[in-house]
Structure 1
Amino acid sequence: MNQTPEQQVRDNIDRMLAQAGWQVQPLVQANWNAGPGIVIREYPTANGPADYVLFVNHTPVGVIEAKREEEGHHLTVVEDQSALYAAGRLKWAAHNQPLPFIYESTGVLTRFTDTRDPKPRSRPVFSFHRPETFQTWRKEAQSLRRRFLNLPELQPTGLRGCQIRAITRLEQSFKENRPRALVQMATGSGKTFTAITSIYRLLKFAGARRVLFLVDTKNLGEQAEQGFMAYTPNDDKRTFTELYGVQRLRSNYVAPNSQVCISTIQRMYSILRGEDLDESAEETSLYEIQQPARPKEVVYNPALPPEFFDFIVIDECHRSIYNLWRQVLEYFDAFLIGLTATPDQRTFGFFHENVVSEYSHEDAVADGVNVGHEVYTIETEITQQGAKLAAKEFVDKRDRLTRRTRWEQLDEEVAYAAPQLDHDVVNPSQIRKVIRTLRDKLPEIFPGRTEVPKTLIFAKSDSHADDIIQIVREEFGEGNEFCKKVTYRAEEDPKSVLAAFRNAYYPRIAVTVDMIATGTDVKPLECLVFMRDVKSRNYFEQMKGRGTRTLSYDDLKKVTPSVISAKTHFVIIDAVGVIKSIKTDSRPLERKKSIPLKDLMLIVMMGGADEDTFLSLANRLGRLEKQITPEERQRFTELAQGKSINQVIHDLLNAHNPDAIESRARAEFQLSAAAEPDVEQVRAAQESLIREVQRTFSTGELVHYVDNVRRSHEQIIDTVNLDRLQFAGWDRQAQVKAAEIIRDFSVFLAEHKDEITALRIFYDQPYRRRELTYHMIKEVLDLIKQNKPTLAPLHVWRAYEQIEQVNGKSPKNELIALVALIRRVCGFDAVLTSFETTVNNNFKRWVFNKNAGPKQFTDEQMAWLRMIKDHILASVHIERGDLDYAPFDARGGLGKMHQLFGGDMDALLDELNEALAA
């Protein structure tokens, strides 16, 4: 039967209302006992009949103004009309107050206004709110948006300045009723802590009912859960989880009494689709998954209606707001809060350019919240240029899945370029040359260390990671504990390896593909080695962010005993040119011809059903079918629920084949030969065919197996071409940066020379250096730490090491490093010279001059003079009172010194203070 456009709209609205728990009735047939929520069509008001009036427990609460679908872009124009109906007295009703809840809807697009808000503003909603929701809202004295106005002032105790600004501006955004807000904070500056603080205030002071904390990997969900468990607000002694219910979703069940739900966006999408989710889909970052251009839409879920959450916090939002996943966010009638360190233009656009916090990595480094980085480059011949294998050459070919090798003669020449390394061809010499150079250059990169700093190596694949681990253990001459793999597929539990990497001495080196590329904290990390290139600018920044975390001296020393200071910086070892390679603003999310097979399967597993994806996947599986062994075919059938690879290919093709769809429709609806299936029957038949395909790929085990089988073929091991080192050294850009650090340090000292005694002595009164004390130098050090943490003495020292040949060993502590640096800046030393070298040389000269005179020091006097020299080395200055403490007290203390040197003792101490620091 043909329907008018108006009737189609009414039917759609009626269906939406029924889904939301409303009973839609004509006035003359109203049954007020049918349920708590009754909707009456064409109810007369003083201002004319309203299309729909909503009643909860017999009390009118709202109206709906229905418009044709083509008028969707005019919905805001009719707001005055719907407001007129809401304000008009209802005929026969005792209630004569304006109705608070107003909708305009086409049955496809719907807008909603809550007139209880301070400045009522309509907003788009996925569907109508449930009767129970209005019942709850009517019992509240104020709406959520009005309660924002009563938020108490934020107490700054325990919060960084950047966190205070972010929370304050976010709450101002709420007060202005802005639906979306972006919090941009550098990695390591406490985004999660900031979000939890904000959530606590929203629950406690704004009366929020539920908050959804969205992540894109299971690992980040676990990390967020730990953050909530550890959080103690500054106005309560109880932890967050003692005050509020926090649930991390491990299934499709969402507890209605949980105030905070932590979920991967993949799981929330599957919940809204009413489908089960394989856990493996939560283990891969959204950076690693291509998404379908036309995803399956989420549908109304009565167990999780759009108003279920008041706020959604989207962690790492720069990768969670597009295509497939965007529907999850726009389903809920909630404020959206994005958290990211690396937004791009689309991120700003999605959040309506409402950036409530802009705190860059540079800001964080300047504030001492993050540490900066330096770049060390390793370039080898094969890394840069690739190599060739001659025809008839005997080579090993390796199965990537089993790592079993066989010897084979090449039929023709094989030339491989750098991008093919570790994919089609593995050259152990190339990996070995990089690792050996890393080993040999570590003393140059991290002077004074007796152990390898905590190091993370980024590999291209699991197979590449295995090769790297084997060679690292060989080249460093260490055992299994020294170097471990940390990926989702590691044989050993990745969580326990990661915990040990954070907190224990071993492992010193971890190799990963994607598990700790983004979002995972390992504070003791001081070295990142890139053995894979990265094309996405955001992804690269996230990977670099693994090294930016600060760590105190005591905590760093627990895992790296030879350190002499807190973590001041980290080093990027660039072994593939990742620093210089061209980066795109974001990973492309639309389908490309080069989309990996694994991504195609994941798209289908996550609900993608567009024709391009199905045809591409069928084509790839067809190619794979010609390569695999009978044993591999059998295993495929076992994992594909009894279907052979050829059957699966046919299923993929049939899902978009009009003849196959019509045939399925005839069979399912038992149509006669003469009858043609209608549009709905064709649609249902195609959905049935699509579901069959998606059931096949419903487990991550099949996806993982097929991906490994694909990669297990045609990997050549090149042991013929030996690699050669072309360059190893600090990146030129790093040298420019080092020069800037030195310049900033010199300017900082000059700016404060008149207010700090030690600086005034060095600059203007060098003859007074005998007066310099430990506390005077400590005053300079404290000033730097408070105002310019990026100019930490050991960091400036390393900058000098990149610019000039430093005289002497790296300093043992910050204080004596600072003395040497001040001497260099003030011109006492032509090159940076360690304080130890200066004092030892001056001591030799002073003793020689004294012994050249008429009176020479005895052996016992010399022993005391050496003790005084060592004390000045450690503490810059010696005073009379120091002689009563170690090591002098064990040799007789002040009395013994007086006995040895007599009345010249005090003058001798002054002379030594001046001469040794000269």
Structure 2
Amino acid sequence: MTPEAKARQLIDDKLAQAGWIVQDYKRFDPGAGPGIAVREYPTDTGPADYVLFVDRTAVGVIEAKRDEAGENITIAEQQTARYANATLKWRKDNTPLPFLFEATGQIIRFTDGRDPAPRSREIFHFFTPARIAEWRAQPDTLRRRLAERMPELPTRDLRDCQVGAVTGLETSLAANRPRALIHMATGAGKTFTAITSAYRLLKFGGAKRILFLVDTRNLGKQAHQEFMAYTPPDDARKFTELYNVQRLASPNIDPHAQVCISTIQRMYSILSGEPIDDSAEDVSLNELQQTGKQQKLLRYNPAVPVETFDVIVIDECHRSIYNLWKQVLDYFDAFLIGLTATPDKRTLGFFNQNIVAEYTYEQSVADGVNVTYDVYVIDTEITTKGGRLEAREWVDHRHRLTRRKRWAETEDDIVYTGQQLDRAVVNPNQIRLVIQEMKRAVESSIFPGRRETPKTLIFAKTDSHADDIIQIVREVYGQGNAFCKKVTYKSEEDPDSVLASFRNDYHPRIAVTVDMIATGTDVKPLEVLLFMRDVRSRGYYEQMKGRGVRSLDADGLQRVSASADGAKERFVLIDAVGVETSLKTESRPLEKLPTVALASLLQGVAIGHRDDDTVLSLANRLLRLAKHLAPKAQARIAALAGGVTVGALGKALIEATNPDAIVQHALATAQANGITRDEDSLTAAELQAARDARVAAACRPFDNPDLREAIENARRDHEQLIDHINPDQIIYTGFSEQAEQEAKQVIQRFADYIAQHKDEIEALSFFYQQPYRRRALTFEMIEDLHERLRSPPLLLTTERLWGAYARVQASHVAGAERKRQLTDLIALVRFAIGLDSELRPFSDQVDKRFQAWIFRHNAQRTTSFTAEQTEWLRLMKDHLATSGCITRDDFDLPGLSAKGGLQKAWAVLGNELDGLMDEMNVELVA
């Protein structure tokens, strides 16, 4: 056979496999079936190799070439277009045929002439007549709808990074770019973003079916749950109430499914016809070795045509898609969308460098989406050097699978390396030593003061290794079975149930896994990751670290770890096998100088220490501090920083060291100076100058000593030093002369401060004005005075002042044993300036004045206040006692709104309400 004849025979076979009936023109029978491919069909420009008919109507043309022409097949596109625009014999309609193919025996390229800017693409196999008929019946093609019909994205409930990802993806799809990569840090909501895009592609883009590929079966379950929980912004129904979502667990794809969730292993099995063991879906493809017997090439499967999916979303698209499994992606004629937190060069290359969204780990930390991490290293001699067993030693021999033991002698000397630990040789002493050191470190230095063990995940090498670890963890911690459990597919308990308990309940405190929750699984309360296995893949290691980066608010963390003192602000990676140094990681701990005090870092950047370690460490401290500061402290610092918050100061430091931003800064500087540059031509000096300029700008706020002092004071207020070293005992009880002298100095400083600032501080000037000139004393005025007094160098807290007066003037002080309220500061000021002869808690004073006030009112009124009116006046008095004043706005607060709020108070007191409030604000306070 000639090369042309061989190519024609292969093309005929492929057409037949796709459901086309192949006929010669002279034997043309248009009623033989829904799809007919007619060879050598005559046109006014010569016979076309094949003309395709669907339901008796000509719809397309195929230009056939021999295999040797494959590398130049695009040259034939002009010839195909000529036939498509030619006049076909006996055809009444002369409109161009829309579906154009060029084919050899091995290669097929396809162009849809109805697309905007029609562009050919390579496809694995011919489309079926049914799909061609379906496309022909649609007024617009998928690509035209993506380019012209997608409405604006509603941004409610979406993070900025998610908005950028969806819009960036839709821009790429509108431009008909076949592959797109979304780079989003772990925890930023990649799956939620993908579901948002899937909803829009189905509803507005008219996509028929979307394939959502996952790395493991567990991640498929998790993705299915997220689809079921998703509510679109323009419909009250759940995603799964609007569209049929199928999680593939068999070889059959539901013809009515609009989203299919599958591992790539199962999809390969469906296409190849080879059965799959369910356990094959339990291990991340990062950990599977490719073997020779797996190198079977996929062939066309008529049950799953190449047009089955319009879009394929590849979750965690790391190296698994580049080997055997890439055939699955090549098989389908679909847009490919990759989701990853850890792209590498191969990822970027596979997706044609088309990064439609990029949200890095450092950016996610700066935004509070994720937390930073510290690394704690445990090295042991056996881990590093291995060990030796002499011949004729009596030791246990254990079967790897059954774990059955026999007591026997070794036959030869056995020398094992650290890499052979827990595979060829198990050394329980090594495991025990690592667990003991982890326990000691966590309790004494990593999370001191915790009453419960922080939620901890241990990565083991194998299921057998995991069992060894669990037994030793329970022994070392002196805890029962519930304390530490295995979360793997081979565990006896339901792994999903154990995982749910680990995530939401008090027990287990420690979980041991091999692969099941190594990637993608969300366990926000995790604060410790212990690596007792090394990892081959850099990307997989980043994914494993990602289990700890999720941020969590104080309530969420304390729900499972009650003694945590606030929101999750970091996690700690404990490296017991050298995993951190055995490969270079893509993200890095922001904390580079953990032993340097915050005050020193602030002073350092002010003086001019601007190296990355110093800048990133300061950024990390500021981001952590921002999670704990009260709004008042946040506002105080922002006022000194020109309106910039603590978190934004830290974020600016991180962004200043961003390599990509430095390059852009250098390019902009060169352009401003009239110099033409591209990235490759930038000099080291230009990059260094750009970096220095960016860092200098980010560090400029810290030149302000008041800002540095305010940040350090805020940090000091947040922390307490707990001295566990020095014991305490009582020697004498009572006031000493020295204590009394110190109390007198405190009172004098208070009196001097009041006298010096009586005109400039509103709360003080209030008491020095004549009663008829006074306006209401607001709670904000009291807070302002309180902050001024308690801050350095005065350090005059309400408790300290009350205690000083109690020591020096005990006979004139009442209520010293009671807990102080902020409004007690009013009583202190009044006593200090001589308005009161006795220092009593402010609430007691208000009660006493209220009694006299209401008695006078009842005596002056024609009728006394009713019982209901009196009750409302008491409620108003109680609020005033804790806040210093009462206004209309206060009726919206819980204490008053629960009784009916302003509307009820007005109904009871009528037009007198405002006047009564004004009187109470003056007479009960002043």
TM-score by length of 2: 0.69
The alpha carbon displacement at 1:393 in A equals 3.3
Structure 2 counterpart of 1:465: 466
Structure 1 counterpart of 2:749: none
Q: Do the aligned residues in 2 keep the contact of 1:368 with 1:790 (CA within 8 Å)?
A: no
Q: Does structure 1 residue 776 correspond to structure 2 residue 776?
A: no
Q: Do the aligned residues in 2 keep the contact of 1:208 with 1:310 (CA within 8 Å)?
A: yes
Structure 2 counterpart of 1:493: 494
Structure 1 counterpart of 2:510: 509
Whole-Å separation in 1 of the counterparts to 2:536 and 2:706: 43
The alpha carbon displacement at 1:319 in A equals 3.2
The alpha carbon displacement at 1:153 in A equals 1.1
Q: Does structure 1 residue 736 correspond to structure 2 residue 593?
A: yes
Q: Secondary structure of the equivalent of 1:423?
A: coil
Q: Does structure 1 residue 787 correspond to structure 2 residue 644?
A: no
The alpha carbon displacement at 1:846 in A equals 7.2
Match of 2:108 among 96, 107, 110: 110
Whole-Å separation in 2 of the counterparts to 1:509 and 1:15: 58
Amino acid at match of 1:386: G
Structure 2 counterpart of 1:252: 251
Once the two structures are superposed, the pairs formed by residues 348-747 of structure 1 within 5 Å of their partners are 348-443=348-443, 444-582=445-583, 734-736=591-593
Amino acid at match of 1:463: S
From the superposition, tell whether residues 854 and 283 of structure 1 become closer, same or farther in structure 2 (CA, over 3 Å): closer
Whole-Å separation in 1 of the counterparts to 2:548 and 2:134: 47
Structure 2 counterpart of 1:268: 267
Amino acid at match of 1:420: Q
Whole-Å separation in 1 of the counterparts to 2:549 and 2:432: 28
Whole-Å separation in 1 of the counterparts to 2:721 and 2:539: 45
From the superposition, tell whether residues 7 and 834 of structure 1 become closer, same or farther in structure 2 (CA, over 3 Å): closer
Q: Do the aligned residues in 1 keep the contact of 2:634 with 2:645 (CA within 8 Å)?
A: no
Amino acid at match of 2:494: D
Amino acid at match of 2:496: K
From the superposition, tell whether residues 23 and 289 of structure 1 become closer, same or farther in structure 2 (CA, over 3 Å): same
Q: Do the aligned residues in 2 keep the contact of 1:535 with 1:584 (CA within 8 Å)?
A: no
Q: Do the aligned residues in 2 keep the contact of 1:435 with 1:472 (CA within 8 Å)?
A: yes
Whole-Å separation in 2 of the counterparts to 1:288 and 1:895: 68
The alpha carbon displacement at 1:5 in A equals 1.1
From the superposition, tell whether residues 377 and 38 of structure 1 become closer, same or farther in structure 2 (CA, over 3 Å): same
Whole-Å separation in 2 of the counterparts to 1:35 and 1:830: 80
Which structure would you say has the larger Rg?
2
Once the two structures are superposed, the pairs formed by residues 278-289 of structure 1 within 5 Å of their partners are 278-289=277-288
The alpha carbon displacement at 1:417 in A equals 2.5
Higher relative contact order (CA 8 A, sep 6+): 1
Whole-Å separation in 1 of the counterparts to 2:30 and 2:707: 90
Amino acid at match of 2:197: S
Cα deviation digits, residues 355-399 of structure 1 (max 9, x gap): 111211111111111111111112222222223334443322222
Cα deviation digits, residues 817-869 of structure 1 (max 9, x gap): xxxx999846988996876579xxxx99876512699994477988955756x
The alpha carbon displacement at 1:74 in A equals 0.9
Structure 1 counterpart of 2:347: 347
Whole-Å separation in 2 of the counterparts to 1:296 and 1:538: 27
The alpha carbon displacement at 1:80 in A equals 0.5
Q: Secondary structure of the equivalent of 1:266?
A: helix
Q: Do the aligned residues in 1 keep the contact of 2:827 with 2:841 (CA within 8 Å)?
A: no
Where do 5+ consecutive residues of structure 1 fail to align?
Answer: 586-730, 752-772, 793-820, 884-890, 901-918
Whole-Å separation in 1 of the counterparts to 2:17 and 2:518: 42
Structure 1 counterpart of 2:227: 228
Structure 2 counterpart of 1:894: 842
Structure 2 counterpart of 1:605: none
Amino acid at match of 2:238: T
Structure 2 counterpart of 1:328: 328
Q: Secondary structure of the equivalent of 1:320?
A: helix
Amino acid at match of 1:131: P
Q: Does structure 1 residue 120 correspond to structure 2 residue 118?
A: yes
Whole-Å separation in 2 of the counterparts to 1:215 and 1:473: 34
Q: Do the aligned residues in 1 keep the contact of 2:373 with 2:589 (CA within 8 Å)?
A: no
Q: Secondary structure of the equivalent of 1:170?
A: helix
Q: Do the aligned residues in 2 keep the contact of 1:824 with 1:832 (CA within 8 Å)?
A: no
The alpha carbon displacement at 1:453 in A equals 0.7
The alpha carbon displacement at 1:898 in A equals 9.6
From the superposition, tell whether residues 466 and 822 of structure 1 become closer, same or farther in structure 2 (CA, over 3 Å): farther
Where do 5+ consecutive residues of structure 2 fail to align?
Answer: 609-628, 639-643, 654-704, 723-734, 746-803, 830-838, 849-926
From the superposition, tell whether residues 774 and 545 of structure 1 become closer, same or farther in structure 2 (CA, over 3 Å): closer
From the superposition, tell whether residues 733 and 533 of structure 1 become closer, same or farther in structure 2 (CA, over 3 Å): farther
The alpha carbon displacement at 1:61 in A equals 0.5
Once the two structures are superposed, the pairs formed by residues 163-242 of structure 1 within 5 Å of their partners are 163-242=162-241
Whole-Å separation in 2 of the counterparts to 1:446 and 1:565: 13
Q: Secondary structure of the equivalent of 1:12?
A: helix
From the superposition, tell whether residues 251 and 775 of structure 1 become closer, same or farther in structure 2 (CA, over 3 Å): closer
Whole-Å separation in 2 of the counterparts to 1:412 and 1:177: 66
Match of 2:79 among 73, 78, 81: 81
Amino acid at match of 2:58: P
Q: Secondary structure of the equivalent of 1:426?
A: coil
Q: Secondary structure of the equivalent of 2:71?
A: helix
Once the two structures are superposed, the pairs formed by residues 45-64 of structure 1 within 5 Å of their partners are 45-64=43-62
Q: Secondary structure of the equivalent of 2:490?
A: coil
Q: Secondary structure of the equivalent of 2:47?
A: strand
Whole-Å separation in 2 of the counterparts to 1:138 and 1:427: 68
From the superposition, tell whether residues 864 and 61 of structure 1 become closer, same or farther in structure 2 (CA, over 3 Å): same
Whole-Å separation in 2 of the counterparts to 1:863 and 1:289: 76
The alpha carbon displacement at 1:95 in A equals 1.7
Whole-Å separation in 2 of the counterparts to 1:259 and 1:498: 29
Q: Does structure 1 residue 20 correspond to structure 2 residue 18?
A: yes
TM-score by length of 1: 0.70
Q: Does structure 1 residue 850 correspond to structure 2 residue 848?
A: no
Percentage identity across paired residues of the two chains: 55
The alpha carbon displacement at 1:28 in A equals 1.4
Segment drifting more, 775-784 vs 352-361: 775-784
Q: Do the aligned residues in 2 keep the contact of 1:535 with 1:583 (CA within 8 Å)?
A: no
Q: Do the aligned residues in 2 keep the contact of 1:457 with 1:528 (CA within 8 Å)?
A: yes
Segment drifting more, 478-487 vs 295-304: 295-304
Q: Secondary structure of the equivalent of 2:326?
A: helix
Whole-Å separation in 1 of the counterparts to 2:192 and 2:151: 19
From the superposition, tell whether residues 282 and 822 of structure 1 become closer, same or farther in structure 2 (CA, over 3 Å): farther
Q: Do the aligned residues in 1 keep the contact of 2:815 with 2:841 (CA within 8 Å)?
A: no
Whole-Å separation in 2 of the counterparts to 1:58 and 1:50: 17
Cα deviation digits, residues 610-635 of structure 1 (max 9, x gap): xxxxxxxxxxxxxxxxxxxxxxxxxx
Structure 1 counterpart of 2:138: 140
Whole-Å separation in 2 of the counterparts to 1:827 and 1:189: 29
Whole-Å separation in 2 of the counterparts to 1:394 and 1:277: 42
From the superposition, tell whether residues 789 and 488 of structure 1 become closer, same or farther in structure 2 (CA, over 3 Å): farther
Structure 1 counterpart of 2:762: none
From the superposition, tell whether residues 411 and 137 of structure 1 become closer, same or farther in structure 2 (CA, over 3 Å): closer
From the superposition, tell whether residues 366 and 96 of structure 1 become closer, same or farther in structure 2 (CA, over 3 Å): same
Whole-Å separation in 1 of the counterparts to 2:179 and 2:580: 34
Q: Secondary structure of the equivalent of 1:298?
A: coil
Q: Do the aligned residues in 2 keep the contact of 1:823 with 1:829 (CA within 8 Å)?
A: no
Q: Secondary structure of the equivalent of 2:457?
A: strand
Cα deviation digits, residues 588-627 of structure 1 (max 9, x gap): xxxxxxxxxxxxxxxxxxxxxxxxxxxxxxxxxxxxxxxx
Amino acid at match of 2:453: V
Please provide the CA RMSD for this pair: 3.6
Q: Do the aligned residues in 2 keep the contact of 1:824 with 1:830 (CA within 8 Å)?
A: no
Amino acid at match of 1:736: L
Q: Do the aligned residues in 2 keep the contact of 1:375 with 1:734 (CA within 8 Å)?
A: no
